[in-house]
A and B are shown apart, each in its own frame.
Chain A
């Protein structure tokens, strides 16, 4: 990602943002808005899942409309494990990643045999199947979702403390972004981008295109699973709405606003969308109209999103 952007400028901005985020809880305490620390955690978790989708759509060029299924899978894994007494983060969170990745493997293996709009539809179909399955199982709470009995335990750290949890989420997001950046600049990353630009040529050149795309899809799914594990800890409830297609759509909105294919696209988009939701609702309950209009404007005139406006996106669409 960001193959053509100035890496020095990007790096400085990233470091500055990291400092700001680290200082955020202290700042919120000072202005007596400590409630917003938990809100900030939520924003960062969505930044993570949006970034995972950006890997699949923006970087990999695969327009998946069922990404929410992996997000929800991660959340439910942690909740189900907690019910059976497994609360250690060291065990439950990797399990969430594995379950989500396996689901992505299954979905991807079948869906990636299709192209274009059919790929979009079939990923949607799988997500809907997962959604209806989860809604119907009363053992997993059905419509109302599965409450998380206890927050995951992370060594000595108390995850019930909002600030501690925030820093864990921030670390996870930062690590993920660094890892993805590395991935993007690796040989794998370059091959994926070439496949996105011209799949036929890469096939002709003898690359196992299907396998590369599948790996990219699975990594995106697994990362979404991690985000799901974090989210269920933040909200305390694994709900079927996490697998709903409207959430997949919302994630797509985030990455388009933030910048499809840019490393920070998911982060910028998630921050923008959730901040707008939280604050504009104070002025008018009809703020989604504004969001819709902005989204339309971005799609029509700024296809590379906000990050694109800063030259951090891809050069081509």
Chain B
């Protein structure tokens, strides 16, 4: 009985004549950190992504979009299980959302092996930019080192001599230190590695105090950064040392929690909410209307990730099974990003500008980021030469 049904189906397919048929909807597996101290990042990416879908009328590339959102709780084993379910049970066409690079590296290979495209809206490990680059991995945000490189250059140009570096001990943190030192050539007083998820920095701050640096460069995304800045100020260290950070530790989520003590802090970013292009204006206005808060750079990345998928699906006219065509469509990056124009490199990471921002008060008196200038123009990551893909 079962066999007869199968034969009929097969005949029908053959009659349709196409070996590759157009899908009737696009399934996206959204796996991100939605709880714990890193939750602010995942929630922003999710909200940015959802806003894009809303702007596209619930469709991606003209096809109805089904987005399944799962929380990885910032745990590799949970992420692994969720990822396996996405691939084997839900059979998603795309996956996106992961915040932390250690999680990305834990789930990456099986996803690529199953020929599912992963469009990273955040995690940009150096491993996937260099020798482990993969045709199924795309990143619309940046390579981990980039924002730190920009800060490194700025600190170097400013002539600061004695800097202490702080980052969590995980692939993203290591990339941060390496990136900063690529452009900062002065003395590094100390490289302090903290534990991922650590909340109390009393010990590290005491250590920093004893080192008496001119500047402290720190990369502590999400709740970690909030606590670090609060405790830094509380310990009286802001009087002697200046704080520098990539945009990750100086965006809306941290500003909302810490507030005025952050005024005057310089940070780097590939996007700012006061950028003048039309797409960004619409994005920022609608995000505030929808969610009641200013978007962070994470939200802009989630938004762009959806647009990248949308453009690619539109290009292949819904034929999601043709993986080669889909890959070429993704590489072509056919959409207008909220951060202005950028291209994708051969390793599928962006080539783009990086800007300097400073935290000040905007027209309405809110404490927020203001664009200050450009640090890098059309900057590519340092690992692309090691990537075999052309």
**Which residues of A are in contact with B by a Cβ distance under 8 Å?**
33-36, 38, 142-145, 147, 235-237, 239, 241
Q: Provide the residues of chain B in CB contact with A143, threshold 8 Å.
A: 102, 170, 195-196
- Determine the chain B residues whose CB is within 8 A of the CB of A34 once the complex forms: 88
Interface residues of B in 53-92 (CB under 8 A from A): 75-77, 80-81, 84-85, 88-89
B144 to chain A, nearest CB (A): 16
Q: Is the CB of B84 within 8 A of A38?
A: yes
CA distance A143 to B89 in the complex (A): 28
Q: Of A38, A145, A241, which contacts B88 at CB under 8 A?
A: A38
Q: Is A241 in contact with B77, judged by CB distance below 8 angstroms?
A: yes
Give every chain A residue within 8 A of B196 (Cβ-Cβ): 143
Closest to A42 in B: B81
Instruction: Check B80–A144 contact: CB distance below 8 A.
Output: no
Residues of chain B within 8 A of A33, CB atoms compared: 89
* In the bound complex, CA of A241 to CA of B75 (Å): 9
Contacts of B75 in A (CB 8 A): 239, 241
Q: Give chain A residues whose Cβ lies under 8 Å from the Cβ of B76.
A: 144-145, 237, 239
Q: Determine if B88 and A236 form an interchain contact, defined as CB atoms under 8 angstroms apart.
A: no
In this assembly, does B260 line the interface, its C-beta being within 8 Å of a C-beta of chain A? no
Q: Does B106 touch A at the CB level, under 8 Å?
A: yes
Q: Which residue of A lies closest to B110 (CB)?
A: A236
Contact A237 B88 (CB under 8 A): no
Chain B residues within 8 Å of A35, by CB: 85, 88-89
Total of A-B residue pairs, C-beta within 8 Å: 36
Q: Which residues of B contact A36 (CB under 8 A)?
A: 89
A219-B205 Cα distance, complex, nearest whole Å: 48
Whether the Cβ atoms of B89 and A239 lie closer than 8 Å is no
A235 in complex: contacting residue of B80, B88, B105, CB < 8 Å: B80
B contacts with A: majority SS:
helix
Bound Cα distance from A1 to B155, whole angstroms: 70
Please judge, given known A-B contacts A35-B88, A38-B88, whether A237 and B102 are in contact too, CB under 8 Å.
no
How close is B37's CB to chain A, nearest CB, in angstroms? 14
In the complex, what distance in Å separates the CA atom of A122 from the CA atom of B327? Answer: 56
Contacts of B170 in A (CB 8 A): 143-144
Contact string, B174-208, partner A, CB cutoff 8 A, digits 1/0? 00000000000000000000011000000000000
**A145-B77, A236-B80 known; 5 other A-B pairs, CB under 8 Å?**
A144-B76, A144-B170, A147-B106, A235-B81, A236-B110
Can you name the residue of chain A whose Cβ is closest to the Cβ of B81? A235
- A230 CB to closest chain B CB (Å) equals 15
Are A144 and B106 interface neighbours, CB within 8 A? yes
Q: Determine the distance from Cα of A235 to Cα of B110 in the docked complex, in whole angstroms.
A: 11
Q: Smallest Cβ distance from A308 to chain B, in angstroms?
A: 31
A236 contact set on B, CB distance < 8 A: 80, 110
Report B-chain residues with C-beta under 8 Å of the C-beta of A235.
77, 80-81
The CA-CA distance from A145 to B103 in the complex, in Å, is 11
Please indicate the chain B residues that have their CB under 8 angstroms from the CB of A239 in the complex: 75-77
Kindly provide the distance from the CB of B103 to the nearest chain A CB, expressed in whole angstroms.
8
Task: Give Cα A144 to B173, complex, Å.
Answer: 14
Q: Is the CB of A237 within 8 A of B80?
A: yes
Inside 8 A of B106's CB, which chain A residues have their CB? 144-145, 147, 237
What distance in Å separates the Cβ of B323 from its nearest Cβ neighbour in chain A?
A: 21
In the assembled complex, the Cα of A193 lies from the Cα of B161 at a distance in Å of 72
Shortest Cβ distance from B86 into chain A, in angstroms?
Answer: 10
Measured in the bound complex, the distance between the Cα atoms of B84 and A221 in whole Å is 29
Please give, as numbers and ranges, the residues of chain A lying within 8 Å of B77 by CB-CB distance. Answer: 145, 235, 237, 239, 241
Q: Which residues of A contact B110 (CB under 8 A)?
A: 236
Residue of B nearest to A34 (CB): B88
Give bound CA distance, A143 to B169, whole Å.
Answer: 10
Quick one: closest B residue to A241, CB to CB?
B77
CA distance A38 to B89 in the complex (A): 11
Question: Can you name 16 A-B residue pairings with CB atoms under 8 Å?
Answer: A33-B89, A143-B196, A144-B76, A144-B106, A144-B170, A145-B76, A145-B106, A147-B106, A235-B77, A235-B81, A236-B80, A236-B110, A237-B77, A237-B80, A239-B77, A241-B77
Q: Which residues in A have their C-beta under 8 angstroms from that of B169?
A: 142
Q: How far apart are the CA atoms of A235 and B83 in the complex, in Å?
A: 11
In the complex, what distance in Å separates the CA atom of A235 from the CA atom of B81? 8
Contact pattern, B 90-116, Cβ under 8 Å of A = 1, otherwise 0: 000000000000100110001000000
Instruction: Look across to chain B and name the residue whose beta carbon is closest to the beta carbon of A278.
Output: B85
